[in-house]
């Protein structure tokens, strides 16, 4: 949990600083740590009575760590959501600009109106972040 907390805080700082590529490089390690964390939480829930009887102080420390982890995770998710919204806005703005350049502003042969504008071409979006 401690290492996952460090990775999440680092990711949050990198995204805030606009270093999205560096933040993306943390995804592999973060995925492994999230998997281990989830397995640990499920194990602790399944054996909560035994853990409470055998190591009550450790259970309290684990609860305290978990409570500290939640706000950090909420901040991380908010920062990631904001970054995604900004990226989507930029991509949409670029797509509209490219589409606007493809519209004809003149008349066709014999004074006919131009054909309907075509959708923008050549824009690709990677939504893995």
- Look at residue 83 and tell me if it is in a domain: yes
**Quick one: average pLDDT of 90-95?**
84
- Look at residue 75 and tell me if it is in a domain: yes
C-alpha torsion angle, residues 12, 15, 21, 24 (rounded to 10): 40
- Look at residue 107 and tell me if it is in a domain: no
Please give the model's pTM, rounded to 2 decimal places. Answer: 0.68
User: pLDDT for 13-29, tens place per residue?
Assistant: 999 998 989 999 999 99
pLDDT mean across residues, the chain: 84
- Look at residue 121 and tell me if it is in a domain: no
Q: Domain containing 75: what range?
A: 2-101
Q: Could you report how far apart the first and last alpha carbons of the chain are, in Å? A: 22
- Look at residue 123 and tell me if it is in a domain: no
Alpha carbon separation from 102 to 41, 52, 94, 112 (Å, rounded): 54, 67, 13, 18
Domains identified in the chain, total number = 1
C-alpha torsion angle, residues 96, 98, 100, 106 (rounded to 10): -170
């Amino acid at each position: 949990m401690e290492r996952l907390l460090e990775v999440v805080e680092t990711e949050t700082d990198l995204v805030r600083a606009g270093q999205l590529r560096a933040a993306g490089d943390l995804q592999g390690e973060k995925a492994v740590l999230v998997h281990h964390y989830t397995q640990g939480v499920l194990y602790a829930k399944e054996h909560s009575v035994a853990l409470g009887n055998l190591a009550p102080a450790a259970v309290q420390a684990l609860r305290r760590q978990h409570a500290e982890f939640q706000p950090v995770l909420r901040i991380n998710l908010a920062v990631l959501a904001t970054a995604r919204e900004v990226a989507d806005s930029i991509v949409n703005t670029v797509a509209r600009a490219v589409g606007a350049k493809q519209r004809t502003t003149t008349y066709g042969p014999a004074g006919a109106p131009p054909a309907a504008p075509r959708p923008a071409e050549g824009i690709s979006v990677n939504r893995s972040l």
